[in-house]
Structures are given as structure tokens and as C-alpha cells.
Amino acid sequence: MGDLKRRFSKLASQMEDRFDELSFALNKRLHTDKPLQIVTYRSYGTRNHLYVKGRVLKDKFLRKAIGKDNLWNNLVEMYKRFESDEVPHALLEIHFQQETYAVKTDNEGYFSMHLSTGQPIDWTDMWHEIEVELVDAPLPFPTGLKNVADVLVPPEDAEYGVISDIDDTVVKTTATNFLAMARNTFFHNAHSRMPFAGVTEFYKSLQLGRNGKRNNPFFYVSSSPWNLYDLLVDFLDLNDIPSGPLLLRDFGLDRDKESANHMGHKFKEISNILTTYPHLRFVLIGDSGQDDPKIYREVVAKFPGRILAIYIRDVQLADREKIASDIARDLIHDKVEMVVVDNTVEAAKHAEKIGLIYAETIPQIIIDKQQDKGEIPGKDQLSIQ
């Protein structure tokens, strides 16, 4: 059975690649007038090593969302995101510290590079800009087509890092219900999607920590596809939630993508983060809706002593809550507290008790939660608990 599955997966992957090739060839003949664009993704690195990732696509002219967008506007923009025309085998140059690095896009237009800096980065800010330039492509493009990639480099005096899920942890997606998830994904934009109540101020309190420098780095790991990247970045920015690298995943039929689904993808990305910063401890935040408790248990086992606390938002499903609670009891033996909470205020009170945040930040988290829920005035859009 396993051998048959591998053969089918290989065949499906080959068919997908062939379809992409034919589709690209047809688009090349019919839509040569569409300009190209370099899409860069927020990533991370150290003073000596940087990770740069992005994609080359035909520009679909995605509109910046506004609060007055209707359902039809949202559907049209979402269609553009998923009906992407990738540009394979394009050559790019990455410019940093007077050095130039060459990288090519794969069959689906993605490029990624780990580069070693010629000299340690002079740390003055948490974010660093890296120039990416398109120098060759199988389609016409203007000379000097460039974009900037933002790369996070945590300061050496950060107290801890925070790794957070997005779906049903920061933003409502209802991932345990396919129809509800589809409705939230396709019918809403960055303005109309709902944050969970109090998440902004809670995350800000974690970013501030106890040293008062507001320099604890955030990383967002999600099973959402890269097609939703711009929407999620806009959502975080609009809701003033601490910015950080977004580590999403590609959908596809080959075995590498298949193994990266859900648990495999998240565990791999979280492991990469902890390996990159061996001297930094972390707080993990997720929800009970899918596999977060199981994934975080594996992270604790692989990286003993590195996890300060785990916060799991209860999605109010009894069977999921039981799984999370059972894992929480198991983690007591590893001296790690996994706290299953109904809302951000409960998580904040625990974080204050163990010395992660200031007690003085809790009243503002309570106010933020009440405003998000519409219990007191202060915010235009409503949220949920």
C-alpha cells in the first residue's frame, strides 16, 4: 500500500508539473502584456546568516482592501490571489553588504536563499532591508525591476521569542468547520476579518516583556497558503499586532508538499526557528482546534528547557479540549506549563504570574478585549472571545 501511494504521489506530482508547464506556455502566448512583480516575504536571520524568500508572479494588481469593500470585491480579490500566474526559472540577484547573490525561481515561481553575511550585521534595528532584483525571466520585464525583503534579526538582549499560530489563534477562521472556514477566508478582507478579543494588547505585552525594551521577536507559523500572505500581513498591521516573519506553506501534490501539511509543516518551521536561535527561549501560542497541542509537545521533547510556557486557546469543542488537557498533564513532567484558556486575559494573568509580562499591562488587555467584543466603545470592528 505504501509503495502504491508513493507511485501515485510521484505520478500526481509529475502531472502537476506538466500542467504548470503547459499553463505557463499558454499564458506566455496569450498574456505577454501583463507586467511581472517580485513578491517578498518577511523572514528572519542572525547577525551572520539571513534567510530570504519570495516569489515572481505576473502582477494581478491586487487592490488594497478598504473597510467598505463588499462581498463581491472580496471574492474578486481572493480569486486573483489563488489564480496566480507564477514565473518559473527566473533569475534574481540579492544585494546586501556590497555582495551579490544569485538565485532562481522553481517551477512555481518561488525562490529562497540562505546567505552568510561577509561581516556581522551592525545591529541597530530588529528589521533589515535586503534588495532583490530580477535580472532574467522567460517573459518580458522592465530593466531594474526590484523589491525589498524585510528580514528580522532579534537583538542579543531579547528576553524570549514568541511563536504563534494565526488561524483561530490571532484571527477567526473556524478551521474545524470547512464551510465556515471557507466563508471567513473568501468573503472577508483584512478590514472585516475578526481578531480574537484582546490579542493586540496581549501580544504587545509579550513583545515588551519585563526589560521594557519591546524587543522580544514574534514569529507566525500557519498552515495557510502563501496566496494569503498579503491579506495576513495587512490584517496584522491594521490591528497593530506585533510584526514578525510569516511562515506559511505551499499547496501541491508532490510528496515534499504533502509531508509539509499541518503538523509536519509547523513542526519543521518551529524547529528551524529554535535551531537558528539556540540561546533564546520561547513562548508558544496556538489553539485546540487542530494539532497545535500535539506539535508543541513534540517541540518540548526535541528542545528540552527551551519552552517557557504554552498558551492554547480553547475552541469550545469537548474532544479537542480533552486532547489539549491530556497533553498539558503530560508536559508537567517536562516542567512546561501548557495552559488551556478561554480568552487572552486568562493567558495574560498566567504570563504575569510566571514573570513574562508586567502586571501593569493587564488592565489595558482587559480594555482591549472589551473593545474588540463591542462591550465598550473604542474600536469600529467587532471581534470574538
* 88-106 per-position pLDDT tens digit: 999 999 999 889 999 999 9
User: What does the pLDDT average to over 111-119?
Assistant: 90
Q: Which fold has domain 31-152?
A: Immunoglobulin-like (2.60.40)
> In the chain, which segments carry CATH 3.40.50.1000?
161-372
pLDDT value at position 67? Answer: 58
* 122-136 per-position pLDDT tens digit: 888 899 999 999 999
Tell which CATH classification among 3.40.50.1000, 1.10.1740.110, 3.50.50.60, 3.40.50.2300 matches the domain 161-372: 3.40.50.1000
pTM of the model: 0.84
* 224-261 per-position pLDDT tens digit: 899 889 889 988 998 899 999 999 998 654 445 444 55
Q: What percentage of the chain carries pLDDT values higher than 90?
A: 58
Q: What is the 3-state secondary structure (H, E, C) of the chain?
A: CHHHHHHHHHHHHHHHHHHHHHHHHHHHHHCCCCCEEEEEECEEECCCEEEEEEEEEECCCCCCCCCCCCHHHHHHHHHHHHCCCECCCCEEEEEECCEEEEEECCCCCEEEEEEECCCCCCCCCCEEEEEEEEEECCCCCCCCCEEEEEEECCCCCCCCEEEECCECCCECCCCCCHHHHHHHHHCCCCCCCCEECCHHHHHHHHHHCCCCCCCCCEEEEEEEEHHHHHHHHHHHHHCCCCCCCEEEECCCCCHHHHHCCCHHHHHHHHHHHHHHCCCCCEEEEEECCCCHHHHHHHHHHHCCCCEEEEEEECCCCHHHHHHHHHHHHHHHHHCCCEEEECCHHHHHHHHHHCCCCCHHHHHHHHHHHHHHCCCCCCCCCCCEC
Residue 331, pLDDT > 80, answer yes
Mean pLDDT over the full length of the chain:
82
Of the given ranges (5-9, 35-39, 115-119), which has the lowest mean pLDDT? 5-9
> In the chain, which segments carry CATH 2.60.40?
31-152
* 148-198 per-position pLDDT tens digit: 999 999 999 999 999 999 987 888 665 544 444 444 444 444 444 557 789
pLDDT value at position 170? Answer: 87
